[in-house]
Amino acid sequence: MSSADIIRSAPVAACRPWPRYMVPTDQWLMLAPEDVSLHAFWADTAAVYALFTSGAGQILLASTAVRDGDYPALSPRFASAILPERMVQDLWGHRAMGGVDPRPWLDHGRWSVTHPLAPRHGPATGATEYAFRAIEDLMQIPVGPVLGHPAEPVHFRIHAAGEVAASVEARLGYAHKGTLLLMRGKSPRTAARFAARLSADATVAHSVAFARAAEAAMDIEPPPRAVMLRGVMAEAERIATHLGDLVAACGELPHLCGRLGWHREQVLRSAQVAFGHRMMMDCVVPGGLAGDILPEGATALRMVADGLAAELPNLVQGLGTLGAGIGIVPPASLEALVPVGLVARAAGCSVDARQNPGYPPYPAATPPTLPGADAAARLRLRLHEITISLDLLRDWLGSLPTGPVSQTLPNTGGEGIAVAESPRGAVWHWLRLDGGLIASAFAADPSWRLWPMQEAASAGALLADLTLIDRSFACARSGVDL
């Protein structure tokens, strides 16, 4: 029996829009990556959850019970489960039996308690030295967590053989905020503020995924005008984030860097005019929007979009071959870690949550891809995607439906899951409501899968190229630190 058949044959729990299959422990052990891909993994106090897709692209949400604090590990068979299993152990205390890596992830030993999401917290353990992977006879180079430029914190441990990085390992958790605990017991409208602050340059994407998950749990639909304005905000965010990532990567091309930075600032200013906030934070809420687009907003966004579209050919030409042949993602790593977002599309993989599974207001279309899987492809593809985002933004601004932008939320229970395509890839949010309040929640940022891909792409690179590789991936720190 295939893994997809094992999941589909399990008892079903109510979850919208996709049911959740409660897989028995003995069958959980039989799940394998031959016909399913693992996109996200998390837990609550009584079970662990896994989000799969079948080979045919069907969404399969599965869970299995945690017994005496233990559950069968998926990481020996699914590489994309390694980091989430470490997170589950830190936050809930559930042990992955047979797991590949038992090291802590978020907990650096500085919390006042351990396992903060468990029914009973554990005592504080105190900080201990982290056991980075070691390679004998090679020099270790520590970088971070405080870097020499404005950036979220991350610690890189580089093993160098001369001028070549034999391996690069990232340690995160420095930006942990306790988001999941802060959401508990809150109404979806109140908790939306925490979702919006998971990752600042993907605040709209996280807000949309959270709002859609809450709406699914309550079985309601936002007004059509709100749906289209969410799309406008999401594409404006994609443009601004792509431009910001290009600025960070193009430091050795000062003129290009200056023009990219100027256009990014114009996009942010137009967002301020349109929605009252440069990052459009707290604008998307469950049930719709916190407020309508402001009177001069559409005009401001169109003017900025037209100016950027006119200069894009020069920007593409100015980028040249920067990053060519540098930071290539090995095909085996791409397959094992499950392709996601722009990094996957720059390796020729046609994956985009806006198209599959798809959600409104996005039309059915094939996302652009590039071959190469190197830093150059990732940088060039950002400029291609900006072109598409500009077209969508201008089309939607010209066809906004009339009507309200929000509706009252019912005080109901339920379970929901939803996705939104962020500038880096698919963001998934899941939550369970009890009496209109959040009983449990989780957010899966695409960088859970991108960090191991970046490590694989950095192995064998020149030390001088590591900064460009890092900036071509532009992985989120805060998004995975929760």
pLDDT at residue 365, rounded to an integer:
86
Q: Which domains does the chain have, with CATH numbers?
A: 3-123 (3.30.460), 180-446 (1.10.645.10)
Q: pLDDT for 190-221, tens place per residue?
A: 999 999 999 999 999 999 999 999 999 999 99
Q: pLDDT for 146-163, tens place per residue?
A: 877 777 899 999 999 999
pLDDT at 46 over 90: yes
Residues 23, 51 contacting (CB under 8 angstroms): no
Share of the chain above pLDDT 70, in %: 100
How many helices and strands (H and E) does the chain possess? 15, 17
pLDDT grade, residue 38 (50/70/90)?
Answer: very high
Dihedral, 450, 451, 453, 455 alpha carbons, nearest 10 = 160
- Expressed in percent and rounded to 5, the helix, strand and coil fractions of the chain are 40, 20, 40
**Residue with the larger pLDDT of the pair 364 and 284:** 284
pLDDT at residue 245, rounded to an integer:
96
Look at the chain and count its residues.
Answer: 482
pLDDT grade, residue 298 (50/70/90)?
Answer: very high
Please spell the DSSP secondary structure of 227-292, one letter per residue: HHHHHHHHHHHHHHHHHHHHHHH-TT-HHHHHHHHHHHHHHHHHHHHHHSSTT-TT-EETTEESSP
DSSP-derived pairing of the beta strands 426-434 and 414-421: antiparallel
Backbone angles phi and psi of 235, in degrees to 5: -75, -35
What is the arithmetic mean of pLDDT over 352-372? 94
What is the arithmetic mean of pLDDT over 349-377? 94
What is the arithmetic mean of pLDDT over 223-237? 98
Which residue is it, tokens 């880096």?
424
Other CB atoms within 10 Å distance of the CB of residue 146? 10
463 DSSP 8-state letter: G
Distance between CA atoms of residues 102 and 57, nearest Å: 31
Q: pLDDT for 80-127, tens place per residue?
A: 999 999 999 999 999 999 999 999 999 999 999 999 999 888 888 877
Backbone angles phi and psi of 382, in degrees to 5: -60, -40
* Dihedral (CA of 172, 188, 116, 21) sign: negative
pLDDT at 71 over 90: yes
pLDDT grade, residue 271 (50/70/90)?
Answer: very high
**Cα separation values, 244 from 3, 31, 91, 335, 477, Å:** 41, 40, 32, 28, 16
pLDDT at residue 355, rounded to an integer:
94
What SS3 state is found at 110? coil
Looking at residue 208, its amino acid is V
Q: Tokens representing 286?
A: 């469950």
What is the arithmetic mean of pLDDT over 440-462? 96
pLDDT at residue 147, rounded to an integer:
78
Q: pLDDT for 395-408, tens place per residue?
A: 999 999 999 999 99
pLDDT grade, residue 386 (50/70/90)?
Answer: very high
